[in-house]
Structure 1
């Protein structure tokens, strides 16, 4: 199976799909497809709101064309699906974007085509859900008329060091021939190399446990911080001391949001429960991490009351709205939980995040973020995200935001402990 001369369609142009389309588009014909026409028009102008690809990088991908028209996909022989796989309000996998993408591929695919999925799913999903949909809408037979692959995305939003080209790419295929061809396809754009898994299910499982492992390690740190907080011990000092041992794993407590770590474990637990197994450790970690936003708000309110500062009617500044530092991504940001809990105390909330779009923030939080450093002075300040701009404030800049008296709660530990009132 030779994929070298086939036109590629990348379905979904977000944090994962765009860098992939740009990389392939530098050397071959690629159709970048997204159902959002405004996203497509912005990319045609070289504008990427995710900041994962620069205008120069997009321009250098001379073989790349952007479209929201399904008809433009008909002459493609390789389809790479990079749509989101979120969870619903009950923490169940929401496969609607994946179902829609598989249906689209089924409507345009030709015999002999290869379809590769990068979206995070539970083991078995690609062959149990996606393959039948493609068969249904195309009239073609799986592993006879078309073939599947799975190569889990490993994009880390906002990370300028670990990029598509520098991260080993796990690959797999539905037949030995497909697996070999898909591995060669990715090897052509990933100098870091590839790792060919023995099956699609193994590749799916590898992806979902990468973030489950990280989620559990952070959950342990968060639980330790809850315990040490009750003991009056500084968690960061404990971790610094323990870290002097060569095999101590250096994780830190914090809010666990985003589209990966806070979501992927639920895909694995969903499949486990379908099989009759109740995963206790994974779900316990999720409960701890999902409760840390409320904990930060509660601690801030308690500290204010101890200083005699009325929480009701107070003004509190939340520094950061994105799910991680130096990134504009608001998806599944756990800062939302901090804000929601503070509103339960009838506190007034301002949000300062120089990275995020103000209107996107308003939709997610009910409050638009400000781009510049606020001139107001606040009863409470919560450092929720470790943006570089916040770190560069220094102690004087941080204190200039505060009334006297006031409370500073530093979730990220950006500032010295002696100038803050509380932290994780």
Structure 2
């Protein structure tokens, strides 16, 4: 009887290392079918899960309360499992080079508790070669076992979209790979237990790694093009959204829009690919150009806020400005690598200390990562300008009279970054309205 059959018969367990926005939903999904151990170093997070609270809001408190996942921060319990999925973040350093410390740390922990006959699958986004060239040596060193003999490895890139209730683990086709045909078959069958959309068997681990890193790089480049168009059209006095709506009537026009590109995927993955390219002697031209444009958009928004204040004869220094939304995307509490902080930093360069409201964001995380404290939107008033930065449902549903109450005397400056409000309606009532 193979490992897959033993897992299905609940004779062997699956472990999930890293219980964040990606790992936790995977653990919960598998627990509906098999025995699952959910491991994370963050004891506070484990305590929340044990008490039935979902801090990520990805599956909800009820799902956490009803799941059979065994949540633990005790690494020795990993020895009870033989199929391991590693889903830890892979951020970048300040100089935009890959920070592999989380995946290396997870490999060390798992290696110390790895038993013979195990299969280890990495889900973290990396450049091609990391799984075999970086992770495997750590696993071998810590475990004293030999890869290919005592344990096998695979790679299956995560495709979960945080905050998205439609594109979930179950509904997105899963790329799977393994170091040999036997491992590939095992990995594919295990994931097929929960992925209703099916799996794509990649030719190799490196192919799977490369596929993941270009998915987000492609999206990053397309958004960068939209952001560049936005800059150009703003100089021309043309509404970018109106242009895109017109161009979008052609059947093969790609449906992308300008915006702030942050988070732990799109704003990070291109740097992993270009880093590896640099190692091989190739300097990226298109990918890094797109990254530069997207990295500068927070500054661009702040500059246009200042320009609009000047336009309506309001003092810039000590101007009262509110930013609505701080997370890296809408309807998600994740603030990691948010580009809203770039707007905050740039406004401070002009002597402006904005107030920030975000009912969705993880306030504790924002305080820890950025030193930012949120204000209740009900407490915001007498503003000179308001920046609607993130299209949370709470903000999209705001009526004009509610937005009116945020402002003080004089012309109202409103920056609607995502273009969720009716431009003509606000301009007709006297707002100085701006959007990307």
TM-score of the two chains, using structure 2 as the length reference: 0.95
After superposition, give the CA deviation of every residue in 1:97-145 in whole Å (9 maximum; x if it has no partner): 0001011111111111100000000011100000111111111111111
* Paired position in structure 2 for 1:117: 122
TM-score (norm 1): 0.98
User: C-alpha separation between the residues in 1 aligned to 2:25 and 2:318?
Assistant: 45
Give the aligned partner of residue 151 of structure 1.
156
Q: Take 1:56 and 1:389, find their aligned partners in 2: how far apart are those partners?
A: 22
TM superposition shift of 1:306: 1.7
CA distance in 1 between counterparts of 2:60 and 2:366 reads 23
In the other structure, the counterpart of 1:197 is 202
What are the superposed Cα offsets for residues 67-125 of structure 1, whole Å, 9 maximum, x if unpaired?
10111111211111001100010001000000010111111111111000000000111
Tell me if structure 1 keeps the 8 A contact 2:28–2:67: yes
Tell me how far apart the structure 1 counterparts of residues 362 and 262 of structure 2 sit (CA, whole Å): 18
Match of residue 4 from structure 1: 5
Partner of 2:419: 413
> What's the secondary structure of 1:248's corresponding residue?
coil
**1:330-341 map, 5 Å:** 330-341=335-346
Q: CA separation in 2, counterparts of 1:56 and 1:396?
A: 36
1:423 aligns with 2:429: no
Task: Determine which of 379, 382, 388 is the counterpart of 1:377.
Answer: 382
How far apart are the structure 1 equivalents of 2:147 and 2:380? 61
More moved, 93-102 vs 412-421? 412-421
SS of 2:28's partner is helix
Q: Is the 8 A contact 2:344 2:353 kept in 1?
A: no
- Cross-structure match for 2:30: 24
Q: Unmatched 5+ residue regions in structure 2?
A: 7-11, 427-431
Of the three residues 49, 59, 66, the one matched with 2:71 is: 66
1:96-135 alignment runs, 5 A limit: 96-135=101-140
Is the Cα contact below 8 Å between 1:311 and 1:345 reproduced in 2? Answer: yes
Contact between 2:335 and 2:362, CA under 8 Å: does it hold in 1? no
- Which residue number corresponds to residue 357 of structure 1? 362
Say yes or no: does 1:296 pair with 2:310: no
Shift of 1:363: 3.2
**CA contact under 8 A between 1:172 and 1:182: conserved in structure 2?**
yes
SS of aligned partner of 1:338? helix
Aligned-CA RMSD value: 1.2
Which of 97, 118, 123 lines up with 1:92 in the alignment? 97
Q: 2:216: which partner in 1?
A: 211
Map of 2:289 onto structure 1: 284
- Comparing 207-216 with 46-55, greater Cα deviation is found at 46-55
Taking the aligned partners of 1:211 and 1:358, their CA distance within structure 2 comes to 27
CA distance in 2 between counterparts of 1:86 and 1:101 reads: 14
Distance 1:291 1:55 in 2: 37
Preserved CA contact (<8 Å) 1:46 1:59: yes
Task: Indicate whether 1:386 and 2:423 are aligned.
Answer: no
Residue 18 (structure 1) shift: 0.4
Do 1:78 and 1:115's aligned partners in 2 also have CA atoms closer than 8 Å?
yes
- 1:166 match: secondary structure: coil
CA offset at residue 280 of structure 1? 0.5
- Further displaced range: 73-82 or 372-381: 372-381
The equivalences for 1:37-52 within 5 A come to 37-52=43-58
Unaligned runs of 5+ in 1: none
Is this contact kept in 2: 1:352–1:374, CA < 8 A?
Answer: no
Answer yes or no: is the 8 Å Cα contact 1:304–1:406 preserved in 2.
no
Distance 1:365 1:135 in 2: 37
SS in 1 for 2:5: coil
- In the alignment, the residues of structure 2 paired with residue 277 and residue 299 of structure 1 have an alpha-carbon distance, to the nearest angstrom, of 36
Structure 1 segment 162-173 matched on structure 2, within 5 A: 162-173=167-178
Within the alignment, does 1:226 sit opposite 2:231 as a pair?
A: yes
In structure 1, what is the Cα distance between the partners aligned to 2:186 and 2:368? 43
Is contact 1:120–1:208 with CA below 8 Å preserved after alignment?
yes
Deviation at 1:2, TM superposition (A): 2.9
Partner Cα distance (1:312, 1:367) in 2: 20
